[in-house]
Structure 1
Amino acid sequence: MITTLKRIVEEFAQQQVLERALTDVVSKVKDAMSTECCSLYLADHEKQHYILMATDGLSVNAVGRLAINFNQGLVGLVGQREEPVNVANAHTHPRFLFAPQVEEDKFNAFLGVPIIHQRKVLGVISVQQTDSRVFAEDEEAFLFTLAAQLAAAIAHAGVKSQIESLSGSGSKYVNQHILGVPGAPGIALGCAFVSQPSISFSSVLPRRTKNAAKEAVKFQQAIKVTRKELGELSERMTAMLPSEASAIFDVYNHLLSDASLGEQVNEHIHSGWSAASSLKFVIEKTIREFAAIEDDYIRERMTDIRDIGQRVLVNLMQKDIAKRKVPDNLILVAEEVTASMLAEIPREKIKGICSRKGSSNSHASILASALGIPAVMGLEDLPISSIDGMALIIDGYSGNIYINADDSIEREYRRLQSEELELNDKVRELAADQAVTKDGKVIALHINTGLAADFDVAKGLAVDGIGLFRTEIPFMVRQRFPSESEQVELYRHVLESYPDKPVCMRTLDVGGDKPLPYFPIEEDNPFLGWRGIRLTLDHPEIHLIQMRAMLHASRHTGNLSILLPMVTSINEVEESLRLLKQAHSELCEELSCEIPWPKVGVMLEVPAAIYQIGQLSTLVDYFSIGTNDLTQYLLAVDRNNARVASLYDYYHPGVLQALHFVIQQCQLHGTPVTVCGEMAGEPIGILLLLAMGCNSFSMSAQNLLKAKWILKHISSDDACQFLKEVAILSEPAQIRDVIVSKLEHAGLGGFIRAGK
């Protein structure tokens, strides 16, 4: 059964024409189940009916013509129930629909199964037989399993087919909506610019050579040209971003070295294969090996290997490829957006990024955030080969994209975009002001940062310090662990940026969705695995070097606070403090001076930690609530998974109750608390957390001015009333609607982003 199912699904996915693919499916299912008829119906939700799209057994003249309303016939019953319908004699069933044009008089037995993708019924697949009998359990199971496996492929093929048919007919609107994973915040409107390789490895046929020396020279020349191109791209990226972001190109240069891919290619050349064939063998073999490993780090490296291999191949083939004209206001679209793609196109032309693969922590997402480019990743249903030149709208806040949207959707997003620009100008007047509520309550606002580019955004802003410096980002974009001296220089620059204000540095928080290129972690469930404090305590040498660097960097400023991530137990904090004391003692002795002792805090993001606040408060100076991970763990939702992204919501009543409990416990034990997750940068989140008693927030520099504006126009009493009204609600959408209504009434509705 497994072999048959796999073959049917794979052959369907490889077929380029949807109608042909559906016809092949029904024929193969009919043969596999040894039945007399198989038919497949697709749902048209706009017209509320199913269309017969393919059949092997009914009249072919009915294909594309027979329409069955959602509330009619056995096919409609399958869709309504969203479960299989298995009857021995269809003609006697009260929902039987007589349709003479399909010529099904001889068939009695009927089994129909729904095809469902992301809670939406896409269609129904059915089998029929002359004998009056109930189909056996294993037959039903086979069809049910097939429908489940086909659902995603049909969804993707359906989007592609609709786009191609409508664009071919000259229709103005396709109006397709696809949900992905937010990669970088913002809204963008532009035309799709699909980046696809001009020469692919699939076009390279294995070829022998009698002149290995000549092929080796060709390969080295191609490497030399590629290195030069990478150098130019790196310089361009460095002009836009600080060195730690453009250091991503170090990964590419490493892959070109003999110690990585180069030696393997040369071995194939010297064994008698052409340079192009040898490169093909090595790249494809490496990608196959990496594809067999389920790991975020490996997936990132596959992207790098594919990209660098493609570049060498183009230079190796010495093709004179005409450069495509790069339009203004483009949305860069690719199977997987890479750093080099971003560097090749002038920054002013890129309005947004769409990628079928990737996550919120991919290289492309990190760069897009630093460059201020809205991005949506993980768009599995995006038919990139069919949308080049089409109008796109991308919502980097919610992960939604729209293809050739109608006028009403476009008008709404242009309005939101316009409001965003107007608000940015309006709130600039508060740049030098302290954050104060309408009734005079002073609120501390800090910034979250990880790249030096963030400091450029924060220039001229009155902030209360850095509430979260993500030390993992400089680690992630390098090809090795940064040395202690490199870390000292990096941290000194950050600490000296705000010499009279607290700077909170989180110790290395990698693992889960934040892999290091040079320290791969292979786990079945990385979010519940070896990450954060768990990893650094298991590698005290990493922990000690980083804390020594932090302490050394704060020698003259004395404004360092250290934050421990992913804490689950008291022992983890005690062990971290022991290592910190060791680092402090060593450094004081080595430098022959007294180093200021930093404040130490714990991130509250693991549910177990929120019930140990009393004990933890005796060990640390402050708490920082990480709403991103805390929400993820409370709701058991992977926030980077597009399939369950709609379930991830920090306005879930359970999450709000947990946050209220945490803030009350911190107040009870007299320990300062701040909120540093994404929720802290949203108007709704700020108001609800303010009502819970929080008066310290840390957010991206882009959100800080908006937060000041919101606080200036809302009193503490208003916020408390909002919290009281939503406390009785049971759905996140209801909670959001109530607060949005209140903000709109106060003239602050423009601060609410689409999809939030």
Structure 2
Amino acid sequence: MLTILRRIVLEFSQASVLDQALMRLVTQVKETLATQCCSIYLADHQQQHFLLMASNGLAPDTVGLTSIGFTEGLVGLVGQREEPINIANAHQHPDFMYAPEVEEEKFQAFLGTPIIHQRKVLGVLTVQQTQARVFSEHEEAFLVTLSAQLAMALASREAQGAILGRGQQNIGQQHKGIGGAPGIAIGEMVVIQPKADLSAIAVNQTDDITLQLQIFHDAVVRTLAEFCQLSEKLKSVISDSSLDIFDVYKQLLDNDSFKVEVIAKIKQGFNAQSALKLVVDGYVIQFEALDDEYLRERAYDIKDLGNRLLNHIQNQTEPEQDLPAKFILVAEDVSATLLAEYQHSGLLGVVSVNGSNNSHAAILAKALNIPAIMGIDYLAIRQLNQKRAIIDGYAYQLYVSPGAALVTEYQHILATELELQTQVKQAAHLPAVTLDGHAMNLMVNSGLSAGLEYSQNVGADGVGLYRTEIPFMNRNCFPSENAQTALYHTVLSSFAGKPVTMRTLDVGGDKSLPYFPIIETNPFLGWRGIRITLDHPEIFLVQIRAMLRANYQLDNLAIMLPMISSISEVDEAIKLINQAHYELRSELLNDQADCLARPKIGVMIEVPSVMFQLPELADKVDFFSVGSNDLTQYLLAVDRNNSRVASLYDFYHPAVLRALNYIAEHSSQLKMPLSICGELANEPTGALLLMAMGYQNLSMSAHSIAKVKWAIRHVEMQQLESMLAAVLRQTDVLNVHRYLHQQFVKLGLEDFVHGKWE
């Protein structure tokens, strides 16, 4: 039976014509269950009814014409109750609705199951029989299982605009994705297809190996030149390290292993494009097989690199595309290079079917202040070209062919946002002090790319989180102590006189190293963060030595330990830090040794268990720093990069806010300095709540500092404390958003919360 079920779903998914696919489906189900009738009704939520779309057993001429209201008949009852209904004699049921045109009076037994995708009823699948009997448990289980599997395939077709085929679904069609970059964009969509596609290449061999080697060599040279050209174009637009994303591509292209593998394939007799395909596919399969978000994103980089090399191998020249003056770029995989290629041509926003907020495209979009939505499942991009759309990068929503009222609403939001950006820039270099004199330190998060992503011009009070793992990721082996020392010294000296908190290597979970793969069933609960570095003290000690050497005579370093879940981990880490400090002092002359300071050591509060060990931790370390992203993820058991459950990830959830307040209260009692880094601190609403809780340092992206400062400078602490007390009494996340919106309206800050409370 399982084989039959799989075949039915597979055939339906692969069929190109919906009506034919539905008719084939009901026929197969009727034959499998040996019943007299099978029908499928699809939900039309605009008309609030189910439409009979296919049937083998009911009157054929009623298909596509007969509708049943959401609150009518047994079909409506299945949809309302969202559960199977199995009735021996349907005619005797009080909800039975007689429809003579469908000719179902001969059928007595009725079994209906809802087709539900992500809590939305897409339709109802029914079987009927002339004999008055209850369908067996086995038959019901089969239909329930089929409906559940059918839901995903139908959801895909709904997104493609195939369901009901009336054209109405294109008006105001809404898609939920994953946040790539904040902002609002309104404009015409332009679908970009790759100029060359390795997946379409057939593997062929050749006799002229010398020629193919030269073709590959020339393609490498031209692709490198292309990356340099794209990087140069962006230099006039971006001044931070987001440009170093292109160094990742150059490193991939310069990687001896990669080039040697392609050359080896050519020498085996494959032509250049076939050799490239074989090597790239091998890397992609290897990366995508790992249950790891960062490596999955690097698979997209490899694909993009392969396609660009292929384009030069094929020596294709395409006419310049006729683009609208302003447009939204849409593609299956928006890469950083694709974004760089089009950013100067009136690019308003970005939509990528694949990808996450960790992708290089998302990082670059943030740096360019271009709204972006990633990871929109079931989006058929071929049907989107030249259609108008709205991107809401705050609520992660894409509206296709929006109605006039929605466009007007978002035009107002966009105009207000542009005006607000001009205002908040005035606060960038002013102190973050409330109207009644309460000050807050605003720090910058750094290290998303290999180089300097920070700028002295953003008005930060220092670096609250420097992510050290990226230099480890952009290599084919662990970086040496000298290489790390040089990088860390650049960071520390750039913020001389200001504190810089460096997090020790935090890989595993959503980040992994190509040369140190970690294959786990559940990586977020596995071997990651401090657990890895304590198991490999040779890696940890080299990194600590590099940090201490880089801090020599600067003395603005603080070291932060990630993923702490027990006191023993802190003890082991401090022991190793002390060992590294002692070793370095012994290697220096006496006067130099005296200048080698032991930095402050802190722990990240991101694993819920350590919330209940704060007093013991306070005896061991110098400061606490809350990692709100992971703490939220662990408290709510939600992977924020999984589009199916991303809507459940909300750091305004009452449990998350109460946990943060608990940490702040106990840290205050322990007189322990407290900071926080994560998305909550990036938003004025979150920043003001955290300030009221008692957090002393907020660490955020460089682009958020000015607007958070502006908000802080327009409120009083008493107002914030009153707002916090009310928020902590809320029991539902939607009520939290609504309350915060109401309060920000009263404070005159309503423009900071649009898209967050709906």
User: How does the TM-score come out when normalised to structure 2?
Assistant: 0.92
Task: After TM superposition, list the pairs within 5 Å mapping 1:415-430 onto structure 2.
Answer: 415-430=412-427
Give the Å deviation of 1:59. 1.9
Residue 584 of structure 1 corresponds to 581
Give the Å deviation of 1:301. 4.5
Equivalents in 1 of 2:109, 2:393: separation in Å? Answer: 50
List per-residue Cα deviations over 1:298-322 (Å, max 9, x = no partner). 5334424433443444444455443
Tell me if the contact between 2:498 and 2:556 (Cα under 8 Å) persists in the aligned partners: yes
Tell me if the contact between 1:18 and 1:161 (Cα under 8 Å) persists in the aligned partners: no
Equivalents in 2 of 1:601, 1:147: separation in Å? Answer: 51
Equivalents in 2 of 1:366, 1:227: separation in Å? Answer: 26
Residue 256 to residue 129, structure 1, CA distance change in 2 (3 Å):
farther
- Range with bigger deviation, 687-696 or 81-90: 687-696
Q: Residue 67 of structure 1 aligns to which amino acid in structure 2?
A: S
Residue 495 of structure 2 corresponds to 498
Residue 32 to residue 299, structure 1, CA distance change in 2 (3 Å):
farther
Residue 116 of structure 2 corresponds to 116
List per-residue Cα deviations over 1:537-593 (Å, max 9, x = no partner). 122222222212211111121111111111111111111112212222222333432
Task: After TM superposition, list the pairs within 5 Å mapping 1:80-99 onto structure 2.
Answer: 80-99=80-99
Equivalents in 2 of 1:454, 1:225: separation in Å? Answer: 27
Residue 279 to residue 435, structure 1, CA distance change in 2 (3 Å):
closer
Q: Residue 222 of structure 2 aligns to which amino acid in structure 1?
A: K
Residue 447 of structure 2 corresponds to 450
Tell me if the contact between 2:227 and 2:250 (Cα under 8 Å) persists in the aligned partners: no
Task: After TM superposition, list the pairs within 5 Å mapping 1:290-689 onto structure 2.
Answer: 292-347=289-344, 349-451=346-448, 458-592=455-589, 593-594=592-593, 595-689=596-690
Residue 43 to residue 467, structure 1, CA distance change in 2 (3 Å):
same
Residue 12 of structure 2 corresponds to 12
Of 211, 220, 236, the residue aligned with 1:217 is: 211
Q: Residue 403 of structure 2 aligns to which amino acid in structure 1?
A: D
Residue 199 to residue 36, structure 1, CA distance change in 2 (3 Å):
farther
Residue 285 to residue 28, structure 1, CA distance change in 2 (3 Å):
farther
Equivalents in 2 of 1:186, 1:528: separation in Å? Answer: 33
Equivalents in 2 of 1:311, 1:452: separation in Å? Answer: 22
Tell me if the contact between 2:676 and 2:699 (Cα under 8 Å) persists in the aligned partners: yes
Equivalents in 1 of 2:229, 2:518: separation in Å? Answer: 31
Tell me if the contact between 2:216 and 2:272 (Cα under 8 Å) persists in the aligned partners: no
Equivalents in 1 of 2:200, 2:230: separation in Å? Answer: 31
Residue 64 of structure 1 corresponds to 64
Percent of matched pairs sharing the same residue:
46
- Range with bigger deviation, 110-119 or 212-221: 212-221
Residue 74 of structure 1 corresponds to 74
Q: Residue 74 of structure 1 aligns to which amino acid in structure 2?
A: L
Unmatched tracts of structure 2, length 5 or more: none
Q: Residue 716 of structure 1 aligns to which amino acid in structure 2?
A: M
List per-residue Cα deviations over 1:347-397 (Å, max 9, x = no partner). 453332222222221232233333333222111121112112222222223
Residue 53 of structure 1 corresponds to 53
Equivalents in 2 of 1:486, 1:185: separation in Å? Answer: 34
Tell me if the contact between 1:376 and 1:394 (Cα under 8 Å) persists in the aligned partners: yes
List per-residue Cα deviations over 1:582-632 (Å, max 9, x = no partner). 222222333432212211111111111111111111111111111111111
Q: Residue 444 of structure 1 aligns to which amino acid in structure 2?
A: N
List per-residue Cα deviations over 1:680-731 (Å, max 9, x = no partner). 2222222222222223212122221222222222111111111222232211
Residue 707 to residue 382, structure 1, CA distance change in 2 (3 Å):
same
Residue 104 of structure 1 corresponds to 104
Q: Residue 249 of structure 1 aligns to which amino acid in structure 2?
A: Y
Equivalents in 1 of 2:452, 2:427: separation in Å? Answer: 18
Give the Å deviation of 1:123. 0.7
SS in 2 for 1:499: coil
Equivalents in 2 of 1:150, 1:456: separation in Å? Answer: 46
SS in 2 for 1:140: helix
Task: After TM superposition, list the pairs within 5 Å mapping 1:681-700 onto structure 2.
Answer: 681-700=682-701
Residue 187 to residue 264, structure 1, CA distance change in 2 (3 Å):
farther
Residue 655 to residue 58, structure 1, CA distance change in 2 (3 Å):
same
Equivalents in 1 of 2:510, 2:187: separation in Å? Answer: 30
Equivalents in 1 of 2:366, 2:152: separation in Å? Answer: 30
Equivalents in 1 of 2:443, 2:195: separation in Å? Answer: 46
SS in 1 for 2:127: strand
Tell me if the contact between 1:88 and 1:132 (Cα under 8 Å) persists in the aligned partners: yes
- Range with bigger deviation, 346-355 or 317-326: 317-326
Residue 703 to residue 206, structure 1, CA distance change in 2 (3 Å):
closer
List per-residue Cα deviations over 1:122-145 (Å, max 9, x = no partner). 110111122222111111111111
Tell me if the contact between 1:361 and 1:514 (Cα under 8 Å) persists in the aligned partners: no
Tell me if the contact between 1:600 and 1:620 (Cα under 8 Å) persists in the aligned partners: yes
Equivalents in 2 of 1:290, 1:102: separation in Å? Answer: 53
The answer on 1:27 being equivalent to 2:24 is: no
The answer on 1:229 being equivalent to 2:226 is: no
Measured on the aligned residues, the alpha-carbon RMSD in Å equals 2.7
SS in 2 for 1:541: helix
Residue 260 to residue 293, structure 1, CA distance change in 2 (3 Å):
farther
User: How does the TM-score come out when normalised to structure 1?
Assistant: 0.92
Tell me if the contact between 1:666 and 1:672 (Cα under 8 Å) persists in the aligned partners: yes
Q: Residue 488 of structure 1 aligns to which amino acid in structure 2?
A: T
Unmatched tracts of structure 1, length 5 or more: none
Residue 468 to residue 316, structure 1, CA distance change in 2 (3 Å):
closer
Tell me if the contact between 2:432 and 2:442 (Cα under 8 Å) persists in the aligned partners: yes
Task: After TM superposition, list the pairs within 5 Å mapping 1:279-294 onto structure 2.
Answer: 287=284, 292-294=289-291
Q: Residue 121 of structure 1 aligns to which amino acid in structure 2?
A: V
Q: Residue 214 of structure 1 aligns to which amino acid in structure 2?
A: D
Residue 149 of structure 1 corresponds to 149
